[in-house]
Amino acid sequence: MGRRVSGVTRIVAALGLLFLALLSPGIGLAQSLGIPSSAILTISSERMYADSAFGKRVAREIEEQSDILARENRGIEKELTAEEQELTQRRTQMEPEAFRALADAFDTKVQTIRRTQDAKARDLVQRNDEERVRFFQAARPILTELMRESGAGVVLERSSVFLSANAIDMTDIAISRLDATLGDGTATSAD
């Protein structure tokens, strides 16, 4: 009879483990999808953004617009340098008051151009920041779903974690899901 009890105990124990595995949210599914099965996951949000199709598109667009602005600035600088040299050459042929009026007008022009060009540069930074916010807002439900599928209770920023196993990092999986769901973000763009 002792053997019979131990056999039954093993069966009950096995059924108990099976029951616990079935109750654990998404663990079997998570592992089959390549998602880490852990109560704690890590993610590199910076890499997630930079390596996603969305982040790459934004970086490419900001770089293109920055290049355009830099070329524009070089052209303006060239024109202003020529204008300043002409003004310097005319100085000897002008009355001091007339020259002062032209020099003040030139300074005002330079300051106006500088403010305009600085505003364009700030607009690029602001656009980059807005796109980043839009990305993370769109990423939140996808990351929440990954968290649910893995059975995790928390996702920590990888750079804030002192030590962890690479097995709990979900950055690559998140990028893959985000690319599949959001693409480069142009379909949801507010532009």
Q: Give the whole-angstrom CA distance, residue 179 versus residue 184.
A: 7
Low-confidence ranges of the chain (pLDDT < 70): 1-35, 188-191
119 domain residue, yes or no = yes
Q: How many domains are contained in the chain? A: 1
143 domain residue, yes or no = yes
Nearest-CA neighbor of 58 among 111, 161, 128, 163?
A: 128
CB 136 within 8 A of CB 55: no
Task: For 165-185, give the DSSP string.
Answer: -GGGB-HHHHHHHHHHHHTTS
| pLDDT at residue 128 in the model | 96
| pLDDT at residue 22 in the model | 40
DSSP, collapsed to helix, strand or coil, labels residue 55 as helix
Alpha-carbon torsion, ordered 9, 37, 29, 180, to 10 deg: 180
**Per-residue model confidence as pLDDT tens digits over 124-179:** 999 999 999 999 999 999 999 999 998 998 999 998 888 877 788 899 999 999 99
Q: Give the whole-angstrom CA distance, residue 46 versus residue 172.
A: 12
Q: What is the pTM of this model?
A: 0.72
Q: Any alpha helices (H) in the chain, and if so which ranges?
A: 2-23, 27-32, 45-51, 53-91, 96-150, 171-182
63 domain residue, yes or no = yes
4 domain residue, yes or no = no
1 domain residue, yes or no = no
191 domain residue, yes or no = no
- Per the structure, the complete domain to which residue 64 belongs is given by 33-182
124 domain residue, yes or no = yes
How many alpha carbons fall within 13 Å on the CB side of residue 1?
0
20 domain residue, yes or no = no
